[in-house]
Structure 1
Amino acid sequence: MEKPKDSGLIHCSQFAGNWIVNRGTSLNMKKMRIIRQLFRNNCVKYRVNNNRMKNILLMLLILSGLFAQGYGLDDCIEIALSGKKTLLSAELNVTSAERGVTGSYSGLLPSLNASTGAGRTHFPERESVSIDYDNLNLDTTVSSYYDNMSAGISLNQTIFDGGRSWNQVKQAKTNLNIAQLNYRSTTIQVIQNVIKSYYELLKAQKLYDVAEKNLEMSVQQVSLVTKQYDLGVVKKTDLLKAEVAKGQASVDVLIRKTNLQNARRVLFNDMGMQDYGQSISAVDQEWIPPEIPSNAEALKLLKTKNPTLLVSQSRINLGELSYKIAKGLRLPSLRSSVSYSANGEDSDALMESIKDDWSLGMNLSVSVPIYTGKSLSTQQYQAKLSKQQSEYDFITLLNDLRVQAALIRESLKNYSEIIPLNRAIVISAEEDLKLVRERYSLGSATILEVLDAQVSLTRSNSTLINTIHEARMQEASLKALLGTLDLEYQLEEH
């Protein structure tokens, strides 16, 4: 099972083309963002399907040779941020909250209404007699109905309502802030998932390489023992032990290959892309111990950057506003209105009435709640309890996050010491295997010593790979916890 050696490139295949790119992303990512933005604009203009746009974009990048200049973890994160449906859903919540802020001003602004109507009233026939003084005779008319038309316009304005309208505006703005923070929280989760799956892929690649190297050494060992067995230098048990080790190495290669394929699928899913069977290989970079913030710095970042904690703080503000609104229900409300109207038997009479026979009314009303069956006091008490509950939730969450940050900080400090030790162990295991093989070829070591040294090297390599992977996961978790992870991967178009 021959696998090409890692040349520092990412090897991907998408549709009919192959992606072969290195890690350099700084200059060319700007080009990729520009092309992606152009396609996004065209999609809005021509209503092109988002998945179709993404496929066209990727094909264009392939044909333009842009992928020869950079596609790594940052690129995977950018693709996820550009098209992940969970982010689009969170963005809709922000849009809805923005409309809610606009609608909240309706309690402060006047309302203007226009009305018109036409009606006919029927009744038993009636005779009405009128005197014509000019001709000195009587006029008699018979009628069973009369018509009426009306038109009017009214203006209503709330002058005072106990501050409820202003507090409702503040509530809407707070809800908008919460929606924006939830969008940030979703963004952080998407980035963290991509980082996790990307490094899971890298770990699976490296463990697969270790398994293949172990299989290669096992094959070489079987070949060596076979030759020595044919010469009568070693016993058949040595050959059988070498073949058993080879079989176990073959099984391990198959397991690692399956894990590698699954890691690839998970990464594409976290990127929000469909799995067409394309392959992708993550780039390995040396892990550098990160700068670990102090307790005071971590606490400051938690209070100012962590979106979950900021949402909890905003809920306290919502509880305070709800309590103020409930208190405002006990205060009197003052409203005013102005109305202008006219009536007539038909449209001509109505138009004449609008000019000469109109009526103008002005009204000022005061409403004072005297007794409401304890509903107002109940609302006020419930709002106060809700506010206290939000305060307790905030304190609990803050303490939990502080503990989590402290645990991660200590873990990263340990990894800074453990990883160099594991690297030294790998070097020692490689040298030990080399020496044991030489001794075995000279007949001064047993096959068990060779196999033990080989297993020790494989185990030490696997331990180093897993430890670096855990360190990277903890580093990303700390940034996500402190609310700085999304700030590192903000898209230029955002």
Structure 2
Amino acid sequence: MRSRTGANLIKAVALTAGIALSAFPGRAVWADNLTDAFIGAYNTSGLLEQNRALLRAADEDVAIALSALRPIINWTARISQSHNRPTVSGVATLNQPSDFFTGLTLSQLVYDGGFSVLGKQSAQETVLATRQTLLDIEQQVLFRGLGAYLGVLLQEETVQIRMNNVEVSAEELRASQDRFDVGEVTRTDVALSQAQLASSQADLAVARGNLSIAQAEYVNAVGKAPGRTAGQPRLPNLPRSESEAVGLAQRNHPAIQSAQHQVRALDLVVQQQRANLGPNVGLSADAGITESYDNDDSLEDASVSLTFTQPIYAGGRLAASVRRAMATRDASRANLLNVQKNITQGVADAYAAFQAASASLRASTERVRASQVAFDGIREEATLGARTTLDVLNAQQDLLDAQLAEVASRTERSRAAYQLLQAQGLLTAERLGLAVQIYDPTLYYNLVKKAPAQVSRQSKDLDRVLKALRRD
């Protein structure tokens, strides 16, 4: 019967492996929201698949380290020939006996000062560090999906504003032409309106090009073409203060936890290299049949030996290995401090960016309101002859700039909010509650951590897993 762990893992990886990038369809009739972008990015990311495979490789390192503590049994076939020159009664004769051995050989580590056990523990810490690295990669993937969604949304709103501006510019040109026909304005006013319309049309073309670029990035990041966007996303729950955000980041950010596990892994490597300076005891045995080519004799024999070795001089290699392990560990400790500092700065930057974007959005909204009132008033005054065409065009441009600044500020506020979430280490599929098959890194580890033999039930589960992953 298949083990429950193996069955669960097969189900999970089969779902992941079955997901493929769709052809780029036309715009869908439903509305894509930020959650859709997150789900698409999570399910189709090649970067996540790459790092999941690296995690499985780290899992196997634990099994490899564990195997050093177990006996090794081989079937052996050996042909040997010896040359000797015995002297019989003062006369030298040449003797060339040869024989053939076939049988089983066994070797078992008895004692190595903890070298192999420490290697296994170090591999386990590396697994934990790699799991946290995978979570950090997951944050990057989801944040890219966020950026792709907001990029499409921003360019769509920009295109809409530009289209409205083209319509307004066309209306102003018609109004200028009508006033020119009755002698209220000069040909210069008409030319100004024509230039404004041409400029608006050029800006619209650029905006449509930028939208196409944003849609291509969405396809790359999310795995499908965007449908009709559902507008600005709701802001996530954010901390009330910068200090609270920093505290959450120091406790939760996967980059910090990964660096901490790396330090512990390298501490164990230092202990492992020191243990390598001590004695080793190994057991070896063989049993089989030996046949001699000199005659028809055969011999069933078996032997057991216990070997004790103590390094005395290895050219300085062992001591250098210890020092190298200590230097690598010290580098990892310094890296941990740098990571902690960088995370703290990242949180502070993200918190300040969110506050600035929120203030900018409030100011931009007020600017749009005031610019709209000014534009409406100046255009009305122009119909009465109290304002020139140039005044109207300037007011129109001010309104356009205010509208573009508002949509940019709104987009930047959303980006800054989720960037703050990422800086705290909270931008993961599980914490966001995404409706996806969450990748469980413990499932594969539980199958391989005891280094199952090739003929075991767990090994068969692993074969099915690899088949589901479409690996050889």
In the TM superposition, 1:311-350 aligns within 5 A as 311-345=258-292, 350=298
* TM-score in terms of structure 1 length: 0.76
- Alignment deviations for residues 73-110 of structure 1 (CA, whole Å, 9 cap, x no partner): 22222222222222221121122222222111111111
The answer to whether the Cα contact below 8 Å between 2:238 and 2:417 also exists between their aligned partners in 1 is no
> Residue 216 of structure 2: SS of its match in structure 1?
helix
Q: Provide the residue aligned with 2:436 in structure 1.
A: 492
- Alignment deviations for residues 10-39 of structure 1 (CA, whole Å, 9 cap, x no partner): xxxxxxxxxxxxxxxxxxxxxxxxxxx999
The answer to whether the Cα contact below 8 Å between 1:298 and 1:405 also exists between their aligned partners in 2 is yes
Q: Provide the residue aligned with 2:352 in structure 1.
A: 410
Aligned-partner Cα distance in 1 for 2:64–2:102: 29
1:459 matched to 2:407: no
1:184 to 111, 135, 138: 135
1:234 to 185, 188, 195: 185
2:256 to 290, 303, 309: 309
The answer to whether the Cα contact below 8 Å between 2:159 and 2:204 also exists between their aligned partners in 1 is yes
The answer to whether the Cα contact below 8 Å between 2:235 and 2:417 also exists between their aligned partners in 1 is no
- Alignment deviations for residues 322-358 of structure 1 (CA, whole Å, 9 cap, x no partner): 21111111111122233334434599964xx44xxx4
Q: CA deviation at 1:460?
A: 0.6
Structure 2 counterpart of 1:227, one-letter code: D
Cα gap change, 1:236/1:70 in structure 2, threshold over 3 Å: closer, same or farther? Answer: closer
Q: Provide the residue aligned with 1:210 in structure 2.
A: 161
Aligned-partner Cα distance in 1 for 2:216–2:113: 58
Higher relative contact order (CA 8 A, sep 6+): 2
**Consecutive unaligned residues in structure 2, runs of 5 or more:** 1-10, 85-94, 439-472
The answer to whether the Cα contact below 8 Å between 2:378 and 2:391 also exists between their aligned partners in 1 is yes
1:264 to 209, 212, 215: 215
Structure 1 counterpart of 2:278, one-letter code: L
The answer to whether the Cα contact below 8 Å between 2:159 and 2:208 also exists between their aligned partners in 1 is yes
Aligned-partner Cα distance in 1 for 2:259–2:350: 22
Q: CA deviation at 1:204?
A: 0.8
Aligned-partner Cα distance in 2 for 1:157–1:38: 38
1:166 to 117, 121, 146: 117
1:422 to 364, 374, 391: 364
- Bigger shift: residues 371-380 or 340-349: 340-349
- Alignment deviations for residues 51-85 of structure 1 (CA, whole Å, 9 cap, x no partner): 5xx459x89xx9xxxx7665322222222222222
Aligned-partner Cα distance in 2 for 1:105–1:382: 24
Aligned-partner Cα distance in 1 for 2:12–2:396: 54
Q: CA deviation at 1:317?
A: 1.7
- Alignment deviations for residues 200-242 of structure 1 (CA, whole Å, 9 cap, x no partner): 1111111111111111111111111211221122233222222
Cα gap change, 1:438/1:295 in structure 2, threshold over 3 Å: closer, same or farther? Answer: closer
- Alignment deviations for residues 425-467 of structure 1 (CA, whole Å, 9 cap, x no partner): 2112112211111111122222222112111110111111111
Aligned-partner Cα distance in 2 for 1:293–1:164: 49
> Residue 229 of structure 2: SS of its match in structure 1?
coil
Aligned residues: 416
Aligned-partner Cα distance in 2 for 1:259–1:104: 53
Q: Provide the residue aligned with 2:57 in structure 1.
A: 96
Aligned-partner Cα distance in 2 for 1:333–1:214: 83
- Alignment deviations for residues 153-210 of structure 1 (CA, whole Å, 9 cap, x no partner): 3332212112110111122222222332232222221211121121111111111111
1:383 to 325, 337, 343: 325
The answer to whether the Cα contact below 8 Å between 2:151 and 2:214 also exists between their aligned partners in 1 is yes
Task: Say which one has the larger Rg.
Answer: 1
Aligned-partner Cα distance in 1 for 2:314–2:185: 101
- Alignment deviations for residues 258-297 of structure 1 (CA, whole Å, 9 cap, x no partner): 1111111111122245xxxx66442213765852353443
Cα gap change, 1:421/1:290 in structure 2, threshold over 3 Å: closer, same or farther? Answer: farther
- Alignment deviations for residues 103-122 of structure 1 (CA, whole Å, 9 cap, x no partner): 11111111223324467899
Aligned-partner Cα distance in 1 for 2:248–2:296: 73
Cα gap change, 1:271/1:410 in structure 2, threshold over 3 Å: closer, same or farther? Answer: same
**Consecutive unaligned residues in structure 1, runs of 5 or more:** 1-36, 124-143
Q: CA deviation at 1:309?
A: 2.3
Q: Percent identical across equivalent pairs?
A: 18
Structure 2 counterpart of 1:450, one-letter code: V
Q: Provide the residue aligned with 1:200 in structure 2.
A: 151
Aligned-partner Cα distance in 2 for 1:122–1:418: 93
1:374 matched to 2:327: no
Q: Provide the residue aligned with 2:454 in structure 1.
A: none
Structure 2 counterpart of 1:202, one-letter code: L
Cα gap change, 1:260/1:167 in structure 2, threshold over 3 Å: closer, same or farther? Answer: same
Cα gap change, 1:178/1:331 in structure 2, threshold over 3 Å: closer, same or farther? Answer: same
Aligned-partner Cα distance in 1 for 2:244–2:135: 21
1:398 matched to 2:343: no
2:246 to 299, 313, 317: 299
Q: Provide the residue aligned with 2:230 in structure 1.
A: 283
Aligned-partner Cα distance in 2 for 1:81–1:394: 28
Q: Provide the residue aligned with 1:77 in structure 2.
A: 38
Q: CA deviation at 1:145?
A: 8.8
Cα gap change, 1:237/1:475 in structure 2, threshold over 3 Å: closer, same or farther? Answer: same
Aligned-partner Cα distance in 2 for 1:399–1:42: 36
2:170 to 219, 231, 246: 219
